[in-house]
């Protein structure tokens, strides 16, 4: 079974009075570079082949973009829930979101 990563985003009141939280599975597999390979790449030792360096940099960029997009989507869902509770989107959504 492939690894599954979950992004958890929460908006919490400093005194713990109220919390809005969302979880979402990362939609693609996240791959990690080994710290040693990254160190060698940054140092320019030459033990990392050009093709491997390109793969490592692409892996880093894809991971950043996927995590950023996932976090933005979760933040938008939390904002919608708050707006629903405030009554911006009609009574049916306000009841479902609960009161603030």
Nearest to 9 by CA among 65, 18, 19: 19
Q: How confident is the model at residue 95 (pLDDT cuts 50, 70, 90)?
A: low
- pLDDT reading at 42 higher than 90: no
Answer whether 0.85 is exceeded by the pTM. Answer: no
pLDDT 10s digits, 48-79: 788 888 888 898 999 999 999 999 999 999 99
Q: CB within 8 A of 53, min separation 6: which ones?
A: 41
């Amino acid at each position: 079974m492939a690894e599954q990563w979950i992004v958890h985003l929460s908006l919490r009141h400093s005194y713990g009075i109220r919390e809005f939280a969302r979880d979402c599975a990362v939609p693609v597999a996240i791959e990690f570079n080994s710290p040693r390979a990254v160190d060698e790449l940054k140092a320019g030792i030459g033990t990392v082949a050009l093709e491997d360096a390109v793969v490592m940099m692409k892996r880093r960029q894809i991971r950043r973009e996927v995590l950023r997009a996932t976090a933005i989507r979760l933040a938008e869902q939390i904002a919608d829930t708050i707006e629903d509770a405030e009554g911006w989107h009609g009574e049916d959504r306000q009841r479902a979101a609960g009161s603030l």
